[in-house]
C-alpha cells in the first residue's frame, strides 16, 4: 500500500483487519500456517523472470529485512499468498547462498499467529545476544514490523520459525502514522539504531538507539517533505576510500541525500534529493519501489534489492530487482550513488560471445549481432563518441524478422540520455550494461552512474529472440561488445526439505509436494525424487515416514530415470530391504509402523553396502552387490504416501528437525562424528 493517494484506504484496511482478525495463536510453528505448501511451479510461466526473484504464487510488494546469517542470505517481503492483489499482509521468505539462486520458504510471519498488521520492516542478526533472546546455539534473527508501533518477532532456529516478543507489545510508538522500521548495528557507538518513518508534523524519520534491541531511546528526527516511507540509512566509502565515509538516507521511491550520522542524528547540507533509480515508482505500473539493503553482509558490502510492482503473471504478482551493490562516487555535480549488479550474477553465464573495434552504421550489415538469438541474457557494450555522427544508437531487444521488437534501448547523443534518462559520456565514451529477463529489463550506464529498472513482457517464442545493434542517422565506434547467455536461477533447492544435496531435484513418477514436514511423495507404484547430486562411495542418511501405504526408501547410485538404482526401503510388511530393479539383495525383519519416523544411514564403499536403522551402531544389513558403482541420490515412495526430511550426504554430527534450544539435564553431553553423545552415572537428559 505504497502511494500517497492510498493513505485513507490504508487506514480503512487496517481497521477492517483489526476487526476481523482472529485471536492470536501461539507463534512460530510452520504447521500453523495454512498457506503452505505453495502450488508447484517450474518457474516457466510467460513473463516469469528466470534470474529475478518472484514468489511461487501470490502477491509480493516491499522488500523486508534482507540479511545474511551463516552462509545464507534471507529475503523477506510483503506477501499475500491468497491472491494476486494487495491484501492481508504476511511476511514471505526465501533464502539463497549466493544472492542469485533463491529457494522459497514457508511464510515467516502469519496474521493470527503473529500479532499486529505485519507490514514492512527490517531485521538483524543478534550475534552478541544483546537481547538475551537466544535459547540454543543459533544467534537470534530479530525482525521489526507493524504500523503505528514497532513489534518484534524473533527466531532461534536460523529463520525457520518465528515467535513474537512480549505478545506483540510495541517496543517503539512514534507520533502520528508510522511504519517501516529499519534497524542496524552502529559500530562506532556500539549500539543498535532504528530508523522509522512517520508523518508527525510532515514526512520524516525518527531515530532511536538501543543496547539490547528491546528497549529503545528516542534520539532525533530528520524531517523532509520528499521522504515518504520505507527509509534506509547506511554508510558508503566515497570513491572506495574507507577513510572517507558518508551516510546515505533514502526513501521508498529511491530518493536519497548524502550526509553524516554520529549515532544519534543524521545531518546533510543537501537541499533536495537525487534519484538512485529512474524506474517508475507508481503502485499499479511501477518498476522500482521500497528497496532495502542487506544487514551483516560479508565484506560489509551494501547490497540492495527493490520491489518491481508491474511484473505479473498467471499465478504471481510482483518481483524483485537483481541484487545491486551500492557505491558513492564523486562527480562534477557532487557525490552520487551508484548501483551495479552483484558479481555473483556471473555464475549464471553459460556462453559468451565478444566483438571488438567495429564501426556501427545505418547499414544492417555492420551489425555484429545479425543472426544472434537469445532469451535471457546480459549485454555489456562500450561506445566511443569521438567522431560519431549517429544521432542515436543502441539495441533492439527480442527483435523479429518483420522489423519489430519488444523494447528499444538507445542512447541519444545530443540529449545525452540513455533510455530517456540523463547519462553524460565519460572521457568521450558511454558504457551500457543490460540485463534482459522474461519480464524484467535492468539498464546500467557508465558503471552504475545510471540505474533504470523496468518491467517488459518479453515474447520468448523462438521467432522473437533476435537482438539488433543499431545506429540512426550516422555512425558510431563500437569499442567492445559482450553477450552473455544467462541460465535459470530456479530449481536448485527445496523449500522445506532440509538437505545438503545439490539441486535441482527431479521427480520420476508420482506426485511430490512441499509440506511443513519436508518432501511428500504419493504414488500407486514406485515413484522417485532424484537430486542432481551423484556419488560413488559415501554415507547417505535421512528420516523417512510412511503416512499410508506400503514403503518408503532412500535411493542411491541411480540413473536419471531410475530404471537403475539401489534403494534401502522400510516396508510396512515388516522388513527393512535393500533392492535394485529385478532383485531383492538383502532383508532384515523389523516392525515398521505408519506415522512413525525412521532414520536410515547407508554406507557404500565399492560393492559393500551397510544400512543402519535408527542410529543403531550395528548395521541391520551388511552385504555386497557390484551391479551399480555410481549415480544419483534421491528418495522413493511405493504404493502410498511417504514423507522425507533431513536428507544428508557425508554429514557428521547430530541431525534433527527439532528446533534449536536443546538443554542438558544432568550428565555430560558432547558432539561426535556419529551424533550427540551422553555419559552419566544415573539418568541424564538432553531436552
Q: Phi, psi at residue 679, to the nearest 5°?
A: -130, 130
Who's near 164: CB < 8 A, 6+ residues apart?
Answer: 24, 27, 114, 115, 151, 152, 153
Q: Phi, psi at residue 4, to the nearest 5°?
A: -60, -35
What is the Cα Rg of the chain in Å? Answer: 28
Grid cell 525518527 in the structure block, residue: 206
Contact between 570 and 562 under an 8 Å Cβ cutoff? The reply is no
Residue 617, exposed/middle/buried by CB under 10 A (0-12, 13-18, 19+)?
exposed
7: part of which helix (H) or strand (E)?
A: helix 7-20
Who's near 362: CB < 8 A, 6+ residues apart?
Answer: 390, 471, 472, 473, 474, 475
Grid cell 539441486 in the structure block, residue: 503
Question: Beta-carbon neighbour count of residue 23 at 10 Å?
Answer: 6
Report how far residue 409's alpha carbon sits from residue 165's, in angstroms, rounded to the nearest whole number: 49
Exactly one of 62, 375, 526, 571 is catalytic; name it: 62
The two beta strands, 232-238 and 241-250, are: antiparallel
Report how far residue 232's alpha carbon sits from residue 252's, in angstroms, rounded to the nearest whole number: 8
Question: Beta-carbon neighbour count of residue 468 at 10 Å?
Answer: 18
Report how far residue 367's alpha carbon sits from residue 365's, in angstroms, rounded to the nearest whole number: 5
Complete edge-to-edge strand list for the sheet that includes strand 178-186: 178-186, 191-198, 204-210, 217-223
Q: E-assigned strands of 110-203?
A: 123-125, 141-145, 151-155, 163-164, 178-186, 191-198
Q: Which three cell numbers stand for residue 102?
A: 533463491
Residue 62 designated active-site: yes
Report how far residue 511's alpha carbon sits from residue 119's, in angstroms, rounded to the nearest whole number: 35
Report how far residue 331's alpha carbon sits from residue 446's, in angstroms, rounded to the nearest whole number: 12
Question: Beta-carbon neighbour count of residue 89 at 10 Å?
Answer: 26
Residues carrying an active site annotation = 62
Amino acid at each position: 500500500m505504497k502511494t500517497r493517494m492510498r493513505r485513507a484506504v490504508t487506514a480503512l484496511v487496517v481497521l477492517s483487519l483489526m476487526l476481523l482478525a482472529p485471536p492470536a495463536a501461539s507463534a512460530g510453528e510452520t504447521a500453523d500456517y495454512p498457506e503452505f505448501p505453495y502450488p508447484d511451479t517450474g518457474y516457466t510461466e510467460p513473463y516469469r523472470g528466470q534470474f529475478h526473484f518472484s514468489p511461487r504464487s501470490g502477491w509480493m510488494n516491499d522488500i523486508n529485512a534482507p540479511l545474511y546469517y551463516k552462509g545464507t542470505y534471507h529475503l523477506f517481503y510483503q506477501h499475500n499468498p491468497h491472491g494476486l492483489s494487495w491484501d492481508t499482509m504476511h511476511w514471505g521468505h526465501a533464502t539463497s547462498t549466493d544472492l542469485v539462486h533463491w529457494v522459497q520458504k514457508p511464510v515467516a510471519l502469519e496474521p493470527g499467529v503473529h500479532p499486529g498488521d505485519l507490514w514492512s520492516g527490517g531485521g538483524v542478526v543478534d550475534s552478541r545476544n544483546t537481547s538475551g533472546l537466544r535459547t540454543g546455539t543459533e544467534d537470534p534473527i530479530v525482525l521489526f514490523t507493524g504500523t503505528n508501533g514497532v513489534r518484534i518477532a524473533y527466531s532461534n532456529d536460523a529463520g525457520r520459525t518465528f515467535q513474537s516478543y512480549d505478545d506483540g507489545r510495541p517496543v517503539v510508538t512514534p507520533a502520528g502514522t508510522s511504519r517501516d522500521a529499519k534497524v542496524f548495528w552502529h559500530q562506532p557507538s556500539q549500539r543498535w539504531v532504528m530508523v522509522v518513518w512517520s508523518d508527525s508534523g510532515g514526512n520524516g524519520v525518527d531515530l532511536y538507539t538501543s543496547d539490547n534491541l528491546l528497549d529503545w531511546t528516542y534520539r532525533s528526527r530528520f524531517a523532509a517533505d520528499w521522504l515518504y516511507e520505507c527509509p534506509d540509512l547506511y554508510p558508503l566509502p566515497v570513491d572506495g576510500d574507507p577513510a572517507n565515509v558518508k551516510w546515505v538516507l533514502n526513501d521508498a521511491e529511491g530518493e536519497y541525500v548524502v550526509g553524516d550520522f554520529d549515532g544519534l542524528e543524521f545531518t546533510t547540507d543537501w537541499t533536495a534529493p537525487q534519484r538512485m533509480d529512474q524506474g517508475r515508482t507508481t503502485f499499479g505500473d511501477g518498476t522500482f519501489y521500497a528497496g532495502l539493503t542487506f544487514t551483516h553482509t560479508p565484506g560489509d558490502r551494501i547490497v540492495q534489492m527493490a520491489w518491481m510492482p508491474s511484473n505479473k503473471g498467471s499465478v504471481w504478482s510482483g518481483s524483485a530487482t537483481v541484487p545491486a551493490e551500492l557505491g558513492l562516487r564523486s562527480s562534477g555535480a557532487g557525490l552520487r550513488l551508484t548501483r551495479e549488479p552483484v558479481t555473483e550474477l556471473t555464475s549464471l553465464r553459460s556462453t559468451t560471445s565478444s566483438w571488438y573495434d567495429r564501426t556501427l552504421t545505418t547499414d544492417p550489415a555492420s551489425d555484429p549481432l545479425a543472426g544472434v538469438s537469445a532469451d535471457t541474457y546480459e549485454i555489456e557494450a562500450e561506445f566511443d563518441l569521438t567522431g560519431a555522427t549517429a544521432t542515436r544508437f543502441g539495441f533492439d531487444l527480442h527483435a523479429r524478422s518483420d522489423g519489430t521488437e519488444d523494447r528499444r534501448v538507445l542512447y541519444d547523443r545530443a540529449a545525452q540520455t540513455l533510455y530517456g534518462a540523463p547519462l553524460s559520456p565519460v572521457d568521450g565514451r558511454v558504457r551500457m550494461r543490460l540485463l534482459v529477463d522474461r519480464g524484467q529489463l535492468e539498464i546500467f550506464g557508465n558503471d552504475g552512474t545510471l540505474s533504470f529498472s523496468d518491467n517488459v513482457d518479453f515474447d520468448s517464442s523462438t521467432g522473437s529472440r533476435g537482438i539488433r545493434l543499431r545506429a540512426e542517422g550516422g555512425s558510431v565506434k563500437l569499442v567492445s561488445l559482450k553477450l552473455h547467455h544467462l541460465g535459470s536461477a530456479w530449481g536448485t533447492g527445496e523449500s522445506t526439505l532440509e538437505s545438503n544435496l545439490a539441486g535441482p531435484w527431479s521427480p520420476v513418477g508420482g506426485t511430490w509436494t512441499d509440506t511443513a514436514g519436508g518432501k511428500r511423495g504419493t504414488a500407486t507404484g514406485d515413484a522417485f525424487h532424484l537430486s542432481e547430486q551423484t556419488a560413488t562411495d559415501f554415507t547417505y542418511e535421512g528420516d523417512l515416514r510412511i503416512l499410508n501405504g506400503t514403503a518408503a526408501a532412500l535411493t542411491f547410485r541411480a540413473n536419471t530415470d531410475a530404471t537403475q538404482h539401489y534403494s534401502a526401503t522400510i516396508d510396512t510388511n515388516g522388513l527393512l530391504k535393500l533392492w535394485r530393479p529385478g532383485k531383492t539383495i538383502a532383508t532384515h525383519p523389523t516392525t515398521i509402523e505408519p506415522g512413525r519416523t525412521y532414520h536410515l544411514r547407508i554406507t557404500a564403499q565399492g560393492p559393500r553396502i551397510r544400512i543402519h536403522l535408527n542410529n543403531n551402531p550395528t548395521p541391520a544389513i551388511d552385504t555386497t552387490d557390484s551391479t551399480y558403482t555410481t549415480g544419483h541420490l534421491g528418495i522413493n515412495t511405493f504404493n502410498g504416501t511417504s514423507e522425507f526430511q533431513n536428507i544428508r550426504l557425508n554429514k557428521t554430527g547430530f541431525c534433527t528437525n527439532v528446533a534449536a534450544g536443546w538443554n542438558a539435564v544432568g550428565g555430560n553431553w558432547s558432539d561426535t562424528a556419529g551424533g550427540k553423545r551422553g555419559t552419566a552415572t544415573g539418568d541424564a537428559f538432553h531436552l
